[in-house]
Amino acid sequence: MPADAGCFSIPFDVPPYRLSGAVYGTLVNHRSGLTLLGDAVNHPPYNAPPKAPVLYIKPRNTLALPGSVVSIPRGTPELEVGACLGMVIGRTACNVSETHALDYVAGYLIVADVSIPHGSFHRPSIRFKARDGFCPLGPAVTARAVVANPDALTIRTYVDDVLVQTAGTADLIRPAARLLADVSEFMTLTPGDVLALGAAAPAPRVRPGQTSRIEIDGLGSLSNPFREAAV
């Protein structure tokens, strides 16, 4: 479906062999996110911690390949890189149970959810997350069979080769199977869709001229340079 078929060239050696172009992300799904917010979750504008998964969409214009340049808008000193494990759907998943949810997963890849830093998660503008090239993916879809346990992976983020964040999928509030079950209760995911499980907070920041690199055990690494936008 995507007009820019960039993400289709990501190696994907198990069915359905290519991404659909639909990418969903999950926020405050890593315990560090809630910890950082602290008691603020009980006050306006939130008034309560999230109950259902907090989801967002990375539209097709955001999808980008490993190595692609991420453009930092003028006047924005730095961007956030949310390092996420992405689940790639293998079979149409509608209202699946947690017990069987992972049967619907084809494999996994690394998702760099790039954002303009923003303080409020109440009703943030999509211009923080939906800019062109703000969702590099890759480097390949690793088959589910190769990943022994998606809930025990270490995610390391480097900026210019300096390790800036280490996070684990063991600290997700909704682990992979539970998240897919809860999401598919109200929205059907189809083969090739990506559901990112959420990044740890605070997300590392990257300035113009720097390069981010995300590594996940067994999935390789995803590296992208950041440059100031020409206009």
Partner 1 sequence: MMRARVAYAGAIHEATPAREAAAHRRTASNIQSGERNDDVRLADGRVVVAEDVVWLPPFEVGTVIALGLNYADHAKELAFNAQEEPLVFLKGPGTLLGHLGMTRRPAGVKFMHYECELAVIIGRPAKQVPRDRAMLHVSGYCIANDYAIRDYLENWYRPNLRVKNRDGGTVLGPWFVEAADVPDPGNLALRTWVNGKLTQQGNTRDLIFDIPYLIEYLSSFMTLSPGDVILTGTPEGVVNVMPGDVVACEIDGLGRLVNSIAADADFGR
- For partner 1, the closer of residues 62 and 165 by Cβ is 62
Site for partner 1 (CB under 8 A): which residue of 64, 105, 176, 189? 189
Site for partner 1 (CB under 8 A): which residue of 16, 32, 34, 57? 57
Residue 55 near partner 1 by CB under 8 A: yes
Choose the binding region for partner 1 from 123-131, 150-158, 159-167, 218-226 (rule: CB under 8 A). 123-131
Smallest separation (angstroms) from partner 1 to the CB of 196: 13
Strand extents, DSSP E, 90-228: 105-115, 135-143, 154-159, 162-168, 194-196, 205-206, 211-216, 220-228
158 pairs with which residues across the strands? 163, 213
- Contact (CB, 8 A) for 40 and 163: no
Smallest separation (angstroms) from partner 1 to the CB of 170: 23
**Count of other CB atoms within 10 angstroms of residue 120:** 9
Find the largest Cα–Cα distance for the chain.
Answer: 50
Smallest separation (angstroms) from partner 1 to the CB of 160: 26
Residue 127 near partner 1 by CB under 8 A: yes
Site for partner 1 (CB under 8 A): which residue of 39, 123, 145, 230? 123
- Peptide bond connecting 139 to the previous residue in cis, omega within 30 degrees of 0: yes
Residue 73 near partner 1 by CB under 8 A: yes
Residue 52 near partner 1 by CB under 8 A: yes
- For partner 1, the closer of residues 76 and 221 by Cβ is 76
**How far is Cα of residue 128 from the mean position of the Cα atoms in its chain?**
15
- Contact (CB, 8 A) for 214 and 156: yes
**Count of other CB atoms within 10 angstroms of residue 87:** 31
Residues that bind partner 1 (CB under 8 A): 1-4, 20, 22, 24, 27-28, 45-48, 50-57, 59-62, 73, 94-95, 121-127, 130-132, 186-190, 231
